[in-house]
Amino acid sequence: MSDVTAVPGAETRPGQPAIFFNGRSSRRRQVTLTLGDALEIADPGDVEAGATITRWAYDEIRRADSPAGILRLTATSAPPLARIEIRDAAVSADLVARCSRLDEHQTTGRGVAKIVGWSLAAAISIVCVVLFGVPLAADRLAPLVPKPIERRIGDASEVQMKTIFGRESCSDPAGQAAFAKLVNRLRDAAGLDDDAMTAGVLPSSVPNAFALPGGKVFVLNALLDKAESPDEIAGILAHELGHLKHHDNMRGLIYNGGTSFLIGLLFGDVTGSSAVIFASRSLVEASYSREAETNADTFAIDIMHKLGRSPKPAAELMFRITGKEGGSGFTILASHPLTEDRLARMTKEDRPASGPPLLTDTEWQALKSICGSGKI
């Protein structure tokens, strides 16, 4: 049955006690082992000479998990759960010496090195995808997202926004006319289609403006309150139009979804992984977002120049709202460029007005009171 010959020091040792489980029943059998050409397992309860239950060739024998002090074996030719348990140290040592492939199936040092190597390769590839692949995919895919889908996502976020701010858009007719005039001039200068966007003013005490997917631009009323000239609001609107033009929402969505997923995959189960995931996500996403904001600023500068107005007032408005931002916390985590840097950049692009004012004084006053003269 076996051609294992010439095992050094091999001699036949008959009748070593052991416990045998045949893998088909949980019956515990006291057996005797004979270490001959192959391992012979016999039941001494059977007085006849043919008491042999089975024979295992030495090169088929594998080690199974066992507590210390017990050698537990199985064989590739036997039923998968058949086991022999040997408690005698000398017999165990003898058997171990005879079985050349005893530990072949266990993870060795080389196996561990292989796991480490492959994991590192996987990690490097994930990092490369996060740093280069996902931004590229986001840039290429975002313009290809069909308009209806983008609009649906926009509708969903609009409903959310209105749930947060709780009210409908401001609707003072004169204010709306002025707002529409301003938005239309900017839209034409930006080269966006008529149906590409809608804009509105929401009543809120937070001074901000944002662009939603599907071309929805919203200005919050508090921003109008803080603004001192139409150019300030125009510059900010132009910035939001820049986001629309560059498909920044869809790019951000694809990019953030992709990076979250990949970074989550990378740090699977290390304790406190959510903290690591959060930190590394914030880091890469912030840098991506800063880049998008800088590009939107570039766009806003171009539009304002095209209209013959200066981009500087918009930056001054932002600076009035945020104040100096540097010096607080880690700027590497900021989603926007620092306001003072943006102000410096827009000041550099400051040119004397060469075009007509965007709104007349009456229109400007109407716009400022679009949400009613009362304060919120």
Partner 1 sequence: MNDMQWAPVGPSEPVPPPLPSTRVDFTGNRTEFRKMVTKGAMLELVTFGFYRFWLVTDIRRHLWSNTAIDGDAAEYTGRAKELLVGFLVALAILVPIYLAYFLVGIEFERWQGFASTPLFISFYAFGQFAIFRARRYRLTRTVWRGVRFWMDGSGWAYSFRAMLWGLLVFLTLGLALPWREASLERYKMRHTYFGDLQGDFEGDGWTFFKRGWWLWLLTPIAVVIFPLAPFLYAEFKAREWRWWLNGIRIGGVSLSSDLPHNAFYGLYWKMVGWWLLLSTLFGLYLGGATMLVVQMSGASAEQVFGPDHAAKSIPLLVMMVIGYFALALAINIIMRVYLQRDLWAKVLETVAVHDIGAAADVRASGELASALGEGFADGLDVAGF
Q: What's phi and psi for 292, nearest 5 deg?
A: -65, -40
Total residues at interface with partner 1 (CB under 8 A):
60
| Choice from 44, 143, 261, 365 touching partner 1 (CB under 8 A) | 261
Selected range binding partner 1 among 62-70, 129-137, 171-179, 358-366, rule: CB under 8 A: 62-70
Considering the rule CB under 8 A, would residue 265 count as an interface residue with partner 1? yes
Q: Which residues from 136-195 bind partner 1, rule CB under 8 A? A: 152-153, 155-157, 159-160, 162-164
Q: CA 37, CA 159: separation in Å to the nearest integer?
A: 81
Contact between 53 and partner 1 (CB under 8 A)? no
Do the Cβ atoms of 309 and 356 come closer than 8 Å? no
Neighbours of 163 (CB within 10 A): 8
Cα 81 from Cα 216, distance rounded (Å): 66
Nearer to partner 1, 26 or 373 (CB): 26
Which residue among 8, 11, 28, 173 contacts partner 1 (CB under 8 A)? 28
Give strand pairing partners of 63: 73
| Span near partner 1 by CB under 8 A; candidates 30-38, 116-124, 189-197, 342-350 | 116-124
Instruction: Pick between residue 191 and residue 257 the one whose CB is nearest to partner 1.
Output: 257
- Other CB atoms closer than 10 Å to residue 339's CB: what's the count? 20
CB 244 within 8 A of CB 187: no
Q: Find the part of the chain contacting partner 1 (CB under 8 A) among 88-96, 109-117, 183-191, 238-246.
A: 109-117
How does DSSP assign 154-192, residue by residue? Answer: HHHHHHHHHHHH-SPPP--HHHHHHHHHHHHHHHHHHT-
Query: Are 168 and 229 contacting, i.e. CB atoms less than 8 angstroms apart?
Result: no
CA separation for the pair 284, 280 (Å, rounded): 6
Nearest to 165 by CA among 175, 173, 157: 157
* 325 is a contact residue toward partner 1 (CB under 8 A): yes
> Which residue of 30, 77, 100, 107 would you call a contact of partner 1, by CB under 8 A?
107
Query: Could you tell me if 79 and 25 are in contact, meaning their C-beta atoms sit under 8 angstroms apart?
Result: no
As measured in angstroms, the least distance from the Cβ of 142 to partner 1 is 16
Sole binder of partner 1 in the list 11, 15, 27, 195 (CB under 8 A): 27
The angle, 0 to 180 degrees and rounded to 10, between the axes of the packed helices 173-190 and 361-368 is 110
Whether the CB-CB separation of 376 and 170 falls below 8 Å is answered with no
Enter the tokens of residue 294: 């800088």
Shortest Cβ 169–partner 1 spacing (Å): 15
Footprint (CB under 8 A) of partner 1, residues 284-313: none
266 binds partner 1 (CB under 8 A): yes
Residue 68 interacts with partner 1 (CB under 8 A)?
Answer: yes
Pattern 191-220, partner 1, x by CB under 8 A: ------------------------------
Chain residues binding partner 1 by CB under 8 A are: 19, 21-28, 64-68, 70, 72, 81-83, 85, 107, 112, 115-116, 118-120, 122-123, 152-153, 155-157, 159-160, 162-164, 257, 261, 265-273, 275-276, 325-327, 329-332, 338
